[in-house]
């Protein structure tokens, strides 16, 4: 009988700092059967904590993202619709092909001046205050503004949208999660219909509505809603956490902060180390064994749920020596913060652009930047890894 490890027994400290728990699991083996803590409704799943095993699992076609293959449906799919993270080939290939026609590297690069402008405007408002919550003043408004402008989402009640978005990816309860998805589905459906009626426009969502493949294939209304959901939510939630955790890592490692201030050519490497050290996504969304298989000597039965530990894998000493040391000169290439394989994050170039712009500009304009108290609570759940607030002064 395989032992089931109850992660809930590690208490609140596990949410704040899961790394020692993952390290302890890795010492015992790369794959474990675990019971997830609240508010995950006590799902039992295989959790992969070793780097090589995680990387292989992310690219293993036997681990399906479409739960429908084994009779499992999820709340987000029922209310929003099918999207990239819940699809397998050939459906995934088709959906990704349609979106990559519009979401190109050139389009991301064209955003560079606007990302800089938004960053400067946010810092213009923030810096005269002397102290602020970095999340409220920079980490959240920058990526939400960029993604909303890219998609062509009109100005909305940002506070209300933030609440719904956070509940969708880091729910505090099953009831609040359901309500968030119902309201997001309604909002996105209305938005798409408005754009369809408004006629030609240059934004990404309008492009997706018009996009037609060579064979005449187009996104259905439900697929458009799913695509808008994943672009809008994933397009800012992860970057919020990357900016906040990245600045926190610098401010709690003054030697690394000083090295970066002295040599800004280290910035690209610093961003990759931030992603490895405290990436914005703790675990990949569920995969399901489409057939029985062996993972590092562990027998996984058809239908079993499998969770790939991105945070755990990126602290595997077998891949990254002294993994608990934050070192901006480290070669962090190969980290799994953006995933691996066919589900590798489509928005990774945009996230890197925003992080490079925001962190460089912040350090240049706030030479005395320092922590102004402890960070806020860490987000609940096992999907996202991030702080609700980060008090800073300068």
Q: Higher model confidence: residue 374 or residue 205?
A: 374
Q: Domain 4-393's class?
A: mainly alpha
Q: Does residue 1 register a pLDDT over 70?
A: no
CA distance 148 to 286: 27
* Helix (H) or strand (E) run with residue 308 in it: strand 305-308
Is the peptide bond between 335 and the residue preceding it cis, with omega within 30 degrees of 0? Answer: no
Q: Higher model confidence: residue 343 or residue 84?
A: 343
Q: Higher model confidence: residue 216 or residue 120?
A: 120
215-238 per-position pLDDT tens digit: 667 788 888 888 888 888 887 889
Q: Does residue 148 register a pLDDT over 80?
A: yes
Mean pLDDT of the residues in the chain: 90
What percentage of the chain exceeds 70 in pLDDT?
A: 95
Confidence of residue 253 (pLDDT cuts 50, 70, 90): very high
Confidence of residue 212 (pLDDT cuts 50, 70, 90): low
159-183 per-position pLDDT tens digit: 677 777 888 777 777 677 888 888 8
Contact in structure between 243 and 133 (CB atoms under 8 Å):
no
Backbone angles phi, psi at 25, to 5 degrees: -65, -40
**Confidence (pLDDT) at 44:** 92
How large is the average pLDDT for residues 19-26? Answer: 98
Q: Kindly report which listed range (124-128, 143-147, 201-205, 381-385) carries the lowest average pLDDT score.
A: 201-205
**Confidence (pLDDT) at 189:** 86
How large is the average pLDDT for residues 325-349? Answer: 96
**Confidence (pLDDT) at 202:** 82
């Amino acid at each position: 009988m395989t032992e089931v490890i109850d992660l809930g027994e590690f208490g609140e400290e596990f949410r704040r700092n899961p790394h020692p728990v993952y390290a302890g699991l890795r010492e015992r083996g790369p794959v474990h059967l675990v019971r997830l803590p609240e508010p995950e409704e006590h799902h039992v799943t295989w959790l992969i904590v070793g780097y090589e095993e995680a990387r292989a699992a992310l690219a293993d076609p036997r681990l399906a993202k479409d739960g429908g293959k084994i009779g499992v449906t999820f709340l987000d799919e029922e209310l929003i619709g099918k999207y990239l993270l819940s699809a397998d080939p050939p459906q995934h290939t088709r959906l990704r092909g349609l979106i990559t026609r519009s979401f190109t590297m050139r389009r991301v690069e064209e955003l560079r001046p606007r990302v800089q402008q938004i960053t400067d405007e946010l810092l213009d408002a923030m810096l005269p205050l002397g102290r602020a919550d970095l999340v409220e003043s920079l980490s959240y408004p920058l990526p939400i503004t960029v993604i909303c402008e890219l998609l062509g989402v009109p100005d909305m009640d940002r506070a209300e949208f933030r609440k719904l978005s956070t509940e969708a990816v880091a729910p505090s309860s099953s009831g609040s999660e359901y309500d968030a998805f119902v309201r997001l589905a309604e909002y996105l459906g209305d938005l798409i219909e408005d754009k369809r009626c408004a006629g030609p426009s240059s934004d990404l969502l309008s492009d997706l509505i018009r996009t037609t493949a060579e064979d005449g294939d187009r996104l259905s209304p439900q697929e458009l809603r799913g695509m808008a959901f994943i672009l809008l939510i994933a397009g800012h939630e992860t970057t919020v956490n990357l900016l906040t955790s990245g600045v926190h890592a610098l401010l709690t490692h003054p030697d690394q902060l000083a090295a970066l201030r002295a040599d800004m050519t280290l910035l690209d490497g610093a961003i990759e180390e931030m992603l490895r050290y405290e990436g914005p996504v703790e675990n990949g969304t569920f995969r399901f064994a489409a057939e029985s298989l062996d993972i590092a000597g562990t027998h996984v039965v058809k239908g079993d749920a499998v969770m790939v530990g991105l945070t755990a894998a990126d602290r595997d000493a077998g891949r990254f020596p002294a993994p608990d040391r934050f070192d901006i000169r480290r070669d962090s290439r190969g980290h799994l913060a953006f995933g691996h394989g066919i589900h590798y994050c489509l928005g990774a170039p945009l996230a890197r652009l925003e992080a490079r712009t925001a962190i460089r500009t912040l350090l240049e304009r706030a030479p005395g930047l320092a922590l102004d108290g402890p960070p806020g609570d860490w987000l609940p759940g096992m999907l996202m890894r991030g702080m609700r607030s980060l008090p800073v002064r300068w």
